[in-house]
Amino acid sequence: MANNSSGSNNTRMQNNIRIGGRGPGRNQEVEKPKDGRQTLGRLLQYFSSEKALIAGLLLVVVFLVLCSVFAPKLQSDAIDKITNGDFDGLPGVLAVMMILYIISAFSTLFQSRISAFLSQRIVRRMREDLFRKIVNLPVKYLDTHSHGDIMSRMTNDVENISNIVSQSLSTLVNGVLTIIGTVIMMVCICWQLAILSCVTVILTLIVTRLITSKMRIFSRKRQKLLGELNGTVEEMVTGYKTVAAYNHQPQVIGEFEATSDELTRVGIIAEVIGGSMGPLMNVISNIGFVLIAAFGGYYAIHGLISVGVISAFIVYAKQFGRPINMIAEVYGQIITALAGAERVFSIMDEADEDKSGADTMENAKGVISFRNVNFSYVPGKQVLYDFSLDIYAGHKVALVGATGSGKTTVVNLLMRFYDIDSGEILIDGVNIKDIDCNTLRHNTAIVLQDTVLFSDTVRNNLKYSNTQATDEEMERAARMSNSHNMITHLPKGYDTVLTESGQNLSQGQRQLLSIGRAFLAQPRILILDEATSSVDTRTEQNIQDAMVKLMQDRTSVIIAHRLSTIRDADYIVVMDQGRIVETGNHEELMAARGRYYELYMTQFAGNQT
């Protein structure tokens, strides 16, 4: 839902930080990231319903680790048998080694398949939870946050989480178990060389701590910039006609390149820092090889260990260093995923729209009362001042006034898109805060100036307001809105699939469908916000004739700049800067020669020219 008008939009935009672009929140500063442990704990909650898969994955990983831990010991035994000339026992050792390697190969295959399956199930639940939260967010949240940034959280951030589950989880578990198993085997074979190998562990921990602290900073900044970049692209695609009409391509390209360049710079730094982890770990690992070879040779010469033990320790040292390297690299990926998870959870932590209320509007008549309503989108920037208005059941009331006078804000408050600061709004004498929000909106149909159609058939777009309607009822609504003939001339009639936002229809045709959708809702209260602003004069007259039937015995609130369309209104309310300045019907207001008279004569003069 669009906000009140340019005046109220400007008020709110001036109170946001670093606002830019078409939406009110594209460049705003993101929230400070939450505690990493808390975020990780919330992320692990999604694993609770996948215990069978996790158990299977752990079992496969254990088999894989056991194979990798015992294989070097068998290799050591084989070398010692060859050295000692014991060729009779060699085939048995080699056969066991072959079996371990085969088991390891199959375990690796199953590990990747289970990890992928687990990842997709968890991410599916997370996407569903996030989408469910977005759908139930207050209109105010979507009005004040970049749509591109929200979509980035749904796509890029969730995808990072998917990667960490499918690729890094099993790697992390495998690495930890491999380190534990390797240490046990090393201590059992030669505790002196095992202690010597721990030198590399200390160096690894120091380097890892230094690198990951830097990686965390740039990962968060990269995710923020990626959200801003998506916001820029979303705005350009949505408003491309405006961009092209005003030849703003160079400016748009400049804005995009500025954000893209910064994202590139931060991304390069993040990749360099993350990429340096592996080479540094290799250097430390090679240092460990040199120490083992030197001291192992010394021990072998003095008869403390065999040649096979040296061979096994070199393999163990490499096997010991590799999971440390992997864990260090995975840690960087985990930081990136946690940065994305924080952004996802920040949306999930937003309060749902308050739809509470016990009244179900049974036998609703549609009497609307505004009593001393005051409202501001941003504290200190008031939009409505002591607004009081009574609308009787079945009456047609028009709100007119200059842009920014507060007309659409009245509709926003009536629909409970926003909560008032003070005063009260009543329907049939009941405060709308006490009316179930779903019931309120079910009894109210609204046609906006900016038509919203979905990528679906014409039939489903019309039935969006009443999914239980029959085809006969739908066609009757289409005839009442004078859209039936237009629909029958489409390639597949009512089964024609509309492109995104109905771009394969003209603006007037989209408006007719939107009005037909409101007809099908059969509401007690009808709201028309510049509903006929995008249709030609002849079509407008046809719609006006149909509206006379539609609005019979229904309360109708009409927002109109084209004053000729509301001459037959029972009551006209003239607004100016959030206040009611005149009321009456057309004849009374014209005779008063006040603000309405000035607006009407200005339009009449414009039409005459």
Reported as a single tens digit per residue, the pLDDT across 468-486 is 888 898 998 888 877 888 8
Lowest mean pLDDT among 240-254, 340-354, 495-509, 536-550: 536-550
**Is the Cβ–Cβ distance between 451 and 503 less than 8 Å?**
no
Q: What is the mean pLDDT of residues 577-606?
A: 86
What confidence score (pLDDT) does residue 17 get?
28
**Is the Cβ–Cβ distance between 239 and 255 less than 8 Å?**
no
Q: What is the mean pLDDT of residues 32-55?
A: 77
What confidence score (pLDDT) does residue 196 get?
77
**Is the Cβ–Cβ distance between 157 and 348 less than 8 Å?**
no
In the chain, % helix, strand, coil (3-state, to 5) comes to: 65, 10, 25
What confidence score (pLDDT) does residue 217 get?
80
Cα angle value 64/65/71 (rounded, 5°): 90
Listed residue (513, 173, 168) closest to 334, CA to CA: 168
Give 95 or 315, the one with higher predicted confidence: 95
What confidence score (pLDDT) does residue 9 get?
37
Q: How confident is the model at residue 75 (pLDDT cuts 50, 70, 90)?
A: confident
Q: What is the mean pLDDT of residues 275-281?
A: 78
Decide if pLDDT at 19 tops 50: no
Lowest mean pLDDT among 248-252, 302-306, 531-535: 531-535
Cβ-proximal residues to 493 (8 Å cutoff; 6+ apart), any chain = 458, 487
Lowest mean pLDDT among 58-72, 201-215, 368-382, 542-556: 542-556
Reported as a single tens digit per residue, the pLDDT across 410-444 is 988 999 999 999 999 999 889 999 999 888 988 88
**Is the Cβ–Cβ distance between 426 and 388 less than 8 Å?**
no
Decide if pLDDT at 549 tops 70: no
Decide if pLDDT at 346 tops 70: yes
Q: Is the dihedral of CA 301, 303, 304, 310 positive or negative?
A: positive
Please give the DSSP secondary-structure letter assigned to residue 153.
Answer: I
What confidence score (pLDDT) does residue 157 get?
86
Report the amino acid identity of residue 25: G
SS3 assignment, position 22: coil
**What is d(CA 437, CA 212) in angstroms, rounded to the nearest whole number?**
48
Give 410 or 327, the one with higher predicted confidence: 410
**What is the DSSP track for 88-126?**
SSHHHHHHHHHHHHHHHHHHHHHHHHHHHHHHHHHHHHH
What confidence score (pLDDT) does residue 234 get?
78
Reported as a single tens digit per residue, the pLDDT across 144-153 is 888 878 888 8
**Residues 79-113: b if buried by 16+ CB within 10 A, e if exposed:** bbbeeeeeeeeeeebeeebeebeeebeebbebbee
For 272, 413, 445, 563, 580, the CA distances from 410, given in Å and listed in that order, are 54, 5, 15, 18, 12
On the 0-12 / 13-18 / 19+ scale of CB atoms within 10 A, 235 is buried
Listed residue (430, 417, 418) closest to 368, CA to CA: 430
What confidence score (pLDDT) does residue 583 get?
92
Q: What is the mean pLDDT of residues 389-395?
A: 90
Place of tokens 């939870």: 129
Based on its alpha-carbon atoms, the radius of gyration of the chain, rounded to whole angstroms, reads 35
Q: What is the mean pLDDT of residues 224-233?
A: 84
On the 0-12 / 13-18 / 19+ scale of CB atoms within 10 A, 392 is middle
Q: What is the mean pLDDT of residues 359-375?
A: 88
Lowest mean pLDDT among 8-17, 98-107, 252-261, 444-453: 8-17
What does DSSP say about strands 555-559 and 525-529: parallel, antiparallel, or unpaired? parallel
Place of tokens 């005459």: 608
Listed residue (107, 61, 60, 76) closest to 316, CA to CA: 76
Q: What is the mean pLDDT of residues 476-500?
A: 86
CA 172 to chain centre: 28
For 160, 338, 347, 608, the CA distances from 129, given in Å and listed in that order, are 16, 17, 10, 56
**What is d(CA 74, CA 287) in angstroms, rounded to the nearest whole number?**
25
What confidence score (pLDDT) does residue 599 get?
87
**Is the Cβ–Cβ distance between 57 and 115 less than 8 Å?**
yes
Lowest mean pLDDT among 67-76, 95-104, 339-348, 589-598: 67-76
Decide if pLDDT at 28 tops 70: no
What confidence score (pLDDT) does residue 537 get?
66
**What is d(CA 483, CA 489) in angstroms, rounded to the nearest whole number?**
10
Number of other residues whose CB lies within 10 A of the CB of residue 427? 25
**What is d(CA 242, CA 68) in angstroms, rounded to the nearest whole number?**
62
Percent of the chain beyond pLDDT 90?
11
Which tokens in the block code for residue 66? 């056991």
pTM: 0.67
Q: What is the mean pLDDT of residues 306-314?
A: 77
Mean pLDDT of the chain: 80
Decide if pLDDT at 5 tops 50: no
**Is the Cβ–Cβ distance between 368 and 390 less than 8 Å?**
yes
CA 308 to chain centre: 57
Decide if pLDDT at 191 tops 90: no
Cβ-proximal residues to 63 (8 Å cutoff; 6+ apart), any chain = 103, 104, 107
Lowest mean pLDDT among 284-288, 420-424, 449-453, 543-547: 543-547
